[in-house]
Structure formats: structure tokens, C-alpha cells
Structure 1
Amino acid sequence: MPGAVRPFRMPFRRTDERTAFRTPVRARARGLRRAAVALLAACLAWTLPGTAAAATKYPVPYSFAAGIAAQLLNPGSAPVGSNDFSCKPSAAHPYPVVLVHGTFGNMTDSWQTLSPLLANNGYCVFALDYGGKPGGLFQGYGDIPTSAAQLAAFVDKVRAATGAAEVDIVGHSQGGMMPRYFIQNLGGEDKVRALVGLAPSNYGTEFWGLTRLATAFPWSAELLDLVCTACGQQAAGSDFLNALNAGGDTVPGVQYTVIASKFDEVVTPYTYSFLKGPNAKNIVVQDRCILDFADHLALIYDRVALREVLNALDPAHQQRTCALVLPVFGG
């Protein structure tokens, strides 16, 4: 009727079947986006450089990405914190530390984690390239005795600059084994206090049986020798390794530490890294931390393994670290 008062109705938003369907879908999409952002942030936290402590001099990135970035941005450069030949060892750390990379590695991409870590802890740190063309991206593929002679000359240079009678050596893969030739055959027993190997190829590698397969075809061994002499010399049972290990694994007066991973896919079996002798200590990182999944490459970016390096260099101040470590990337 004209003039009648209509009853008041609350203005509800129209909802149809499509709107009802879209609402939970959009909510799920927002949830997935937030989860993706959180995952990306976590990955960046793992791979981007971070500092060991706010007061340290150099950032310490526990990340494979840091080595690649350094090689891309400044190829052939000394790793952060190293090769200051004016550095004088302190009373707390009187032995300079020489870092020795592995086969096909170089000092730039191998030591962007350990070098600043050692420098922050008060060590004089030095690193070299060996076994390749000067300035080349790939190093460590040449004849191992020749590489050991290069290391011997570098150690003498470090000793002359620092005034130290002895050095400590930390090496990865071939770099943890090759210094033994220097120690045993080139007068290094009086110049080296300690040798710490990260996944060293002390007894070579079966490389999942491929090295045995290669010996069945003489032409393949000859081809390998042309491309990478050090690779054939590191095959388990090679003439080089048989001669190196014939007189015993260790030399009196030198302290040996091996740090290995059960997930090593290069030195196989991983126990071929181990040394025997009263002055040798073998450590498996998984025995220190069950969260450590480091493989051969990741050990040099692995905070659990590198804590053990510090322990080996300074046994009076032992500490333990446990953290999630990823294959290849480290952590």
C-alpha cells in the first residue's frame, strides 16, 4: 500500500556458488605463497654469506655459493683473509696455516669459508694454486710429485715471511694427501707441525668401481693421464699411492688429522681417507652431528667439519658444533 513502511533488511553481500568456491582456493593460494616466501628466505639464509659473529673481522659464508661468486667476480684471487705476507704469527697461534685445494679446484673457490674463519680466530693464513696453468680456472690436475714441489717452495716462502720454523697444512681431497709426499720425500717433516685433511685421498678411490674398469682398458688410462695425471695417480692401488704408503702412513713428529664424511661420493669408500699410526686421528663428521649430510664437496663449507679443523689446530680449546649441513651447498 502507498505510504506503508517496508521492514528493514540487513544488507548482506551476495554469495553464489562461484564466490563460495573461490574463497577457500584464494586462501590456500595465499598460504602457499607465504610458505614459498618462507622457504626462499630459509634457502637464502643458508646460501648467502653470513658472519660468524658480530665482532669478527671477516664474514664467514658456510656456502658453496660463496666460492662460486668469488671465482666469478674476482677469478684467481686469494681467498678472504689470506696471503698477507706481513702477518706475524701470535703467541697463541704461532704456526701459519697453508691451505691446499683439491683436484680441479683452486684457492679462490675452495677457501672462502675456512680462510676468513681462521683469520678471525687469529691465524696467519696462506693459500696457493698448484698443479695447473698459472691463472687457470682448473688446478690440481698435474703430476703429484711436481705439485708437492710447488707446495714445498710455497711453504718456504711462508716460513721466510713469517719467521715461523713450521707451518700447519689444511688440505681438501688431493690437497690433504699430496702434502704427505712433501713431508716424506721433500724434507717437509721438519717444516710441518700438523696436517689436517678434509676427505683426503690417502688410499685413493675406487670411484664406485670405475677405476677398476678403467684399468681393463689401457688406452683409457693413457687418455686419463693426458687430461689429468693426478686423477690416475689417485686411483686406488696406483703405483704412486703404493709407493707413498709403503713406508707407513705417518712420519714421527707430525700430527695428522683426517676429517671424512660417510656421504663422500668421490673418495669411495670413504674409509680410504683414513690414516694409521699413533700420531693420526680419524674423524667422521656424522659421528659428531647426525644432521650433517655433507658430501665430498660440501666438507669445505661445513661448519661441523671446519670446527674440527680448528680443534685439530688448537687441541687445547676443543669445541663441538652441530648443524644441518646439505650436500654440495654446505651449511
Structure 2
Amino acid sequence: MDQGKRCGATETAMPAAPAWTRARMRAACRAGVLLAAVAAAWPGTAAADANANYARTRYPIVLVHGLTGAARMGGVLDYWYGIPQLLRANGARVYVATVPAFNSDEERALALQAYVRGVKLDSGADKVNLIGHSQGGPTSRMLAAMSPQDVASVTTIGSPHRGSELADLVLDVVNGINRIPLAGPLLVGVIQGVADAIGWFQGVSNGVKLDQNALAALKNLTTAGVAAQNARLNATLKPGTPSALGPDCATPGVPVEMRQARDAAGNLVSHAQAAYSWTGRGGPVSLLRSNLLDPTTALMAGAAGLMSLKGAGPNDGMVSVCSSKWGQVLATGYYWNHLDEVNQLAGLYQDADPRVVILNHANRLRNARL
């Protein structure tokens, strides 16, 4: 069995295996794939021939960050830490987008649309595969609705497809402050100004100036805001075709959405867009499983507790497992918090190596001719 199939088998077996067995399987898989990737990048080795095309998808991969993010945080720390490098070492064409750190999905999708058009020109491809983390998932779905001819697939990681109870809680606090006479609106304005300034710096440090609107982002991510957006997105589907978002948490949506767009001749053309998702549920701290060396572990645990108080159920500290399910749900059992899902902070993840999970997904896209 080749390395990619072995890792795929490891992922499939993990949920049912004892903890010590999963740990041993993960370690073997992680070491094998990463070493193979290094060998693949080194000319003249046998492994290079075996792995050079493992992640070589038909369409380029575009990585889309979430709230507060950028391709490189502050122009320094990669948001997708170590992930583009591993994908490229295994043959993928990878682009990393920077869109507004704080804004609605509509505004973020407009920035992403311009970026994707540039990717198409650079690569010569007529479509791209979008992989979005957190708000990057709904943003990618919005672009798929706006420009179906540009998008071959959308994969979401820890994305709030039914909204985030944490966003509900924060908006409740903001609204409470806003009701304080005189000082309340002033304080809310200051908080929004600071967040927008941070978002502006994120863009500028990555070479782009982008409009920011933290309050619009917050409202967009609430359960009510996402419900309204889902209705708009479903209205863009090809008439008579179903959504990748199921009617409830227990009912899966379809693995492929259908949309229509007019070609250069004005003819209405149907476009199939594959839909995938996965998430973690490692928001709460476990002394046996959590990475206590990661300073963000405690932060995510606190957020996970607040979400639990709001009735979110299992969650990664920012998004519930229920809310993350969209399209073909590949996994919900990883013991990751919201940052672990993209190999943060600086590689201090817990449970399975997120780089390997995304690498194997690139191979999945390749095998699906996407």
C-alpha cells in the first residue's frame, strides 16, 4: 500500500481505534508522509517519482483564511502554517489568498473573486479548488454562488455554516454596551475602530489595502445572520437542485451543488461544485490529549466553555460540530481546537497532523479529477 493510501486508512481507522493505537498510527503516517514529501522535493530520488504528483490536482488550490486572518499574520506568521509547502512538495499548485480580516462574506468574496481571477490568469486554469477555514468557508461558498464558473470545489474546515454561538454571545455583549447612554455607542465605536485597524494592518502587511467592517463580520457570523445568508445562497442554486447544507445537523446535504452562469455567448451553462467539510471537537481541555505547551489551548478552552453554556454541544472553541457539517462530511472526530485545524500556533497542534489531513484531501481532489 502506498503512503497516501496508508494515511487514508489511518484516518478511517482512527475514530474506532483505542487511543494508544490511534497515536501510534498517526505517528507512523505523519512521519512517512512528511519524509516522503521532503524526498519528493529532492531531485534524483525514487520517492520523487512516486510522490511528485500525489497532490497534483486538475485545478489549482486556493487557501482562504478566516476572521482576523491573512495569508501571513502581520506579514510574518503563515496562517496555514507549513501547509502550502507540504502540498507543493507533493505536486500541488497552491495559492494563499488575503481577503478582509473583518468584514461580511459578501465583501470578503468580492476580494476573493479578484484574487481568483488573478490565479486563473497566472495558472492558465479555468477553475480553482477553494479550501476555506472558519469564515473562509462561508466566504468560499459566497464566491461559488457569485462566480460558479470559477469554482470546481469548496472545502470547509471548522466553518460556521449554521452560525457560531460564540458570535451570538459577543453580539449580545456589544448590544448591551450599546444601550448604555452616551458612553455605550462611543465605546462600541472605539472597539470597532481598533478591530478595523488591525484588519487594515493585516491586509497592508500582505501587500493589499482592504475595507474592514468588524461589526458586519460579527453579525454575519451569528446564527441568525448565517440563517439569512443560507437562504440567499440556496436561492442561487440551479432550480430544482438541493443544497450541500442539510436541513438539520443529523441530515447530510448533497456532495455536489449545481449552479448556472452564462458563457461568453450568453448561453446558460450548468456548473457542478463539489462540497466537502471537516472539523475538530477539541475545544475543551483534556489533560491527556490537549497540547498544554500551546498558549492558545487555554484561550480556546475558555471559548469552548462559553459555547457550551449557549448549548452549542461539541465544538472546537469557536464553531460547533453541528454547524461545521456541509456537503460530504469527511471527519468530525479530530481532537483539534479551532486553531489546530490550520496547524496553529506555529505547529503546536494536538491529535492528527493537519498538514497530512489536507495533503490527503488534495489527493482526494486529484482522484476526483478536480
Q: Does 1:150 align with 2:111?
A: yes
Contact 1:206/1:235 (8 A) holds in 2: yes
Contact 2:56/2:366 (8 A) holds in 1: no
Task: Tell me the amino acid that sits aligned with residue 114 of structure 2.
Answer: A
Residues 149 and 198 from structure 1, CA distance in 2 versus in 1: closer, same or farther, beyond 3 angstroms? same
Q: With the length of structure 2 as denominator, give the TM-score of the two structures.
A: 0.52
The offset of 1:211, in angstroms, is: 4.5
Residue in 1 aligned with 2:324? 273
The offset of 1:225, in angstroms, is: 6.0
Equivalent residues in 2 for 1:1-331, closer than 5 Å: 53-57=37-41, 92-108=56-72, 109-131=78-100, 140-184=101-145, 186-187=146-147, 189-207=148-166, 210-211=169-170, 213-214=172-173, 217=176, 219=178, 223=189, 227=195, 228=214, 229-238=216-225, 241-248=227-234, 249-250=243-244, 251-252=257-258, 253-263=272-282, 264-275=315-326, 280-286=327-333, 292-301=334-343, 303-315=352-364
More contact order relative to length (CA 8 Å, sep ≥ 6): 2
The offset of 1:174, in angstroms, is: 0.6
The offset of 1:147, in angstroms, is: 1.3
Task: Tell me the amino acid that sits aligned with residue 67 of structure 2.
Answer: T
More strand by share: 2
CA separation in 1, counterparts of 2:36 and 2:169? Answer: 40
The offset of 1:121, in angstroms, is: 1.5
The offset of 1:143, in angstroms, is: 3.1
CA separation in 1, counterparts of 2:340 and 2:55? Answer: 32
Contact 1:97/1:169 (8 A) holds in 2: yes
The offset of 1:243, in angstroms, is: 2.7
CA separation in 2, counterparts of 1:312 and 1:300? Answer: 14
Q: Which moved more, 1:173-182 or 1:244-253?
A: 244-253
CA separation in 2, counterparts of 1:208 and 1:265? Answer: 14
The offset of 1:210, in angstroms, is: 1.4
CA separation in 2, counterparts of 1:206 and 1:196? Answer: 22
Contact 1:181/1:244 (8 A) holds in 2: no
SS for the counterpart of 2:109 is helix
CA separation in 2, counterparts of 1:56 and 1:173? Answer: 31
The offset of 1:269, in angstroms, is: 2.5
CA separation in 1, counterparts of 2:141 and 2:37? Answer: 34
Contact 2:83/2:355 (8 A) holds in 1: yes
Residues 283 and 215 from structure 1, CA distance in 2 versus in 1: closer, same or farther, beyond 3 angstroms? farther
The offset of 1:158, in angstroms, is: 0.6
- CA displacement, residues 61-89 of structure 1 (integer Å, 9 cap, x when unaligned): xxxxxxxxxxxxxxxxxxxxxxxxxxxx9
Larger Rg: 1
Residues 257 and 304 from structure 1, CA distance in 2 versus in 1: closer, same or farther, beyond 3 angstroms? farther
Residues 193 and 241 from structure 1, CA distance in 2 versus in 1: closer, same or farther, beyond 3 angstroms? same
The offset of 1:265, in angstroms, is: 3.8
